[in-house]
Structure 1
Amino acid sequence: MIDLVAIRTVAAKEFRDRLRNRWVLAVSAVFTLFALVIAYFGAAQQGEVGLRGIEVTIASLVSLVIYLIPLIALLLGFDAIVGERERGSLELLLSLPISRAELLLGKYSGLAAALSMATLAGFGVAGVLLATRLPFAALYHYAGFMLSALLLGLAFLSLALLVSVLCGDRTRASGAAIALWFFFVLVFDLLLLGLLVIQGDGPAGSLLPWLMLLNPADLFRALNMFGSDELRAFYGLGSVLPDLMTQPLLLGGLLTGWIVAPLAVALWRFR
């Protein structure tokens, strides 16, 4: 039986540690600054600056989130377990009346709370400032963007906890975390592009939309292009994704699956 009080106690400690070292404040400030700068200068390549509408604003912010939030989440959680093991404090923690599952869930909950606060606070402040320049209807799309950014961060935090459980020391865990970031953010799409170029309309090329389900970053990108023809054209995915994969609830559910699955595997291995 899982003790929720034990989970809450561990989570509160992890969260307080992040507040004490001003991690939440620093990341919130980074998100706010980058969100405002990119929203204003996101169209500079087209020779224009300033806010040009919610579609272009979100398109610019999505590029920021795909690179930044996964990296922050992985660096936040990669040493959650292996760090305790190296410091010799893991055995001490497990000697207390707390199970391994409760310890892992508590650490994830505390780190998730810190990441969520930083993400929502950072982009929320930017959203308040942008709301003075954008129509009220645009806030719906911006709120959806914030929620999807939060899901993306929690998915990569789950991957970070899995890495922390599987690796034997912090050096290997940090290397694995960076490797995951490179693979999902940089390499994966290049592999899909190569497959599309080689196969074209062949059988393998037709699998491209479904292979995108294997990457939470691609799910996040697809989730933020729904309901906007301009965003579909901007990303160039409108002709690639079938209609089924442009449903927000389905994409959100799949991204939630990326939160649950790695965490479940981590729980299984840590037990």
Structure 2
Amino acid sequence: MSEQIHPRGRLMTVLTLARFEARQHLRSHRMFALASLLFLFIVGGSYGLSDPDGRLTPGIATDTPYEVLFLVSLFVLLSATLGVVLLGFDAISRRRLTKELAIELSQPISRSDLALAHLLGLWTAAFLPTMAATLVGVTMMHSQMDAWPSLAELAYFLGATALVLLWYSSIQLLASSLARDLGSAVTLGVGSWMLFTFVWLLVTAVLASIIGVDMTDRPTLRINASTAFRR
């Protein structure tokens, strides 16, 4: 009987710790800075890009709400992932310095479950305000374009955003676990963010140029969410 309830008990423990971790992040002073950053980039970008009188590069389309969402994903990449750094750059290193990590490791919970709880807590704290800013941004698009993205398109966008934030949360926790003090935590956190945000995009752009892919080609920016789901 105990073997049957053991996996469920582990799951409940992980989820409970993750909720506690997320609550700590959401109530921290850093969340105010993150919320301001998200609403400035995502909501402001959604409103500006959906302006019918706005003018962008001729090869970039902003005729539908989903095309605007596609462009807003750049603002998400810059702001939401930076928010993960803001919340998680010292998530492990601070606990090591204050001896909290030693206390947590002495509890009757496996290290993998504890790591998963920290990951889910950081991811939840970063994703919830990002989702809220996205929904407000969609409302701004509707006020400008008098149109809504479909539920499939919105779910596709939020799902991709969630995966990106999960990836960056994993990177930040790994970088924080390598840091020995606050200075190295900041350096590793910001450095890893810049590596995977700017350097990786630069590598992608160079490879696209080498193989002859035009990144500003209008058809490539018209993504049909329903077609993507079928594939």
What TM-score, normalized to structure 1? 0.64
The answer (yes or no) to whether the contact 2:47–2:137 under 8 Å persists in 1 is no
1:118-164 alpha-carbon deviations (Å, 9 max, x no partner)? 11112122223434544345454233222212221111001111112
Question: Corresponding residue for 1:158?
Answer: 170
The residue type equivalent to 1:75 in the other structure is L
Question: Corresponding residue for 1:268?
Answer: none
Structure 2 residue aligned with 1:130, among 141, 148, 151?
Answer: 141
Query: Structure 1: which 5+ runs fail to align?
Result: 209-221, 239-246, 252-271
Deviation at 1:61, TM superposition (A): 0.6
Query: Structure 2: which 5+ runs fail to align?
Result: 1-5
TM superposition outliers: structure 1 runs of 4+ over 6 Å? none
The answer (yes or no) to whether the contact 2:46–2:140 under 8 Å persists in 1 is no
Question: Corresponding residue for 1:254?
Answer: none
The answer (yes or no) to whether the contact 2:65–2:149 under 8 Å persists in 1 is no
Q: 1:231 to 1:171 in 2, by over 3 A?
A: farther
For the aligned residue pairs, the C-alpha RMSD in angstroms reads: 3.6
- 3-state SS of the aligned residue for 2:114? helix
Do residues 38 (structure 1) and 45 (structure 2) align? yes
Deviation at 1:25, TM superposition (A): 5.9
The answer (yes or no) to whether the contact 2:93–2:182 under 8 Å persists in 1 is yes
1:40-59 alpha-carbon deviations (Å, 9 max, x no partner)? 32374539xxx853254224
Aligned counterparts of 2:230 and 2:99: Cα–Cα separation in 1: 43
Q: 1:188 to 1:8 in 2, by over 3 A?
A: closer
The answer (yes or no) to whether the contact 2:43–2:133 under 8 Å persists in 1 is no
Question: Corresponding residue for 1:21?
Answer: 28
The residue type equivalent to 1:181 in the other structure is W
1:63-91 alpha-carbon deviations (Å, 9 max, x no partner)? 21121122211332222222100112211
- 3-state SS of the aligned residue for 1:171? helix
- 3-state SS of the aligned residue for 1:154? helix
Deviation at 1:17, TM superposition (A): 1.2
- 3-state SS of the aligned residue for 2:109? coil
The answer (yes or no) to whether the contact 1:56–1:231 under 8 Å persists in 2 is no
The answer (yes or no) to whether the contact 2:95–2:101 under 8 Å persists in 1 is yes
The answer (yes or no) to whether the contact 2:18–2:117 under 8 Å persists in 1 is yes
The residue type equivalent to 2:65 in the other structure is I
Aligned counterparts of 2:140 and 2:206: Cα–Cα separation in 1: 41
User: 1:183-202 counterparts in 2 under 5 A?
Assistant: 183-194=195-206, 200=210
Question: Corresponding residue for 1:171?
Answer: 183
Question: Corresponding residue for 2:3?
Answer: none
Aligned counterparts of 2:139 and 2:55: Cα–Cα separation in 1: 26
Question: Corresponding residue for 2:111?
Answer: 100
Aligned counterparts of 1:250 and 1:183: Cα–Cα separation in 2: 33
Deviation at 1:16, TM superposition (A): 1.9
The answer (yes or no) to whether the contact 2:46–2:138 under 8 Å persists in 1 is no
The answer (yes or no) to whether the contact 1:39–1:57 under 8 Å persists in 2 is yes
Question: Corresponding residue for 1:11?
Answer: 18
Aligned counterparts of 1:169 and 1:26: Cα–Cα separation in 2: 23
Aligned counterparts of 1:250 and 1:139: Cα–Cα separation in 2: 15
